[in-house]
């Protein structure tokens, strides 16, 4: 995560949350041991999202893509 870019875009609170080990979406305290998948851990290092929020975001995107493809 590029802190300067995020702050310049108005995401100061999100940056602060991630720095404090808090998921910027659900505000849950992050516990590294919750990451049982290397890909989830890699995404956490980019976005600061907990595994639950990653699942919700990426699974909903996958469903949207699948629905569009089936039309």
Q: What is the pLDDT of residue 5?
A: 86
pLDDT, tens digit, 9 for 90 and up, residues 12-28 = 998 999 999 999 999 99
3-state secondary structure of 8: helix
CB 57 within 8 A of CB 51: no
In angstroms, rounded to a whole number, what is the distance separating the alpha carbons of residues 7 and 70? 39
* Chain centre to alpha carbon of residue 71: 29
List Cβ neighbours of 53 (8 Å cut-off, separation of 6 or more): 23, 25, 26
Q: What is the pLDDT of residue 51?
A: 94
């Amino acid at each position: 995560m590029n802190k300067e870019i995020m702050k310049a875009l108005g995401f100061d609170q999100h940056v602060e949350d991630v720095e404090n080990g808090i998921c910027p979406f659900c505000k849950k305290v992050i516990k590294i041991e919750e990451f049982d998948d290397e890909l989830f851990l890699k995404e956490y290092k980019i976005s600061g999202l907990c595994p639950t929020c990653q699942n919700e975001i990426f699974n909903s995107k996958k469903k949207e893509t699948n629905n569009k493809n089936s039309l």
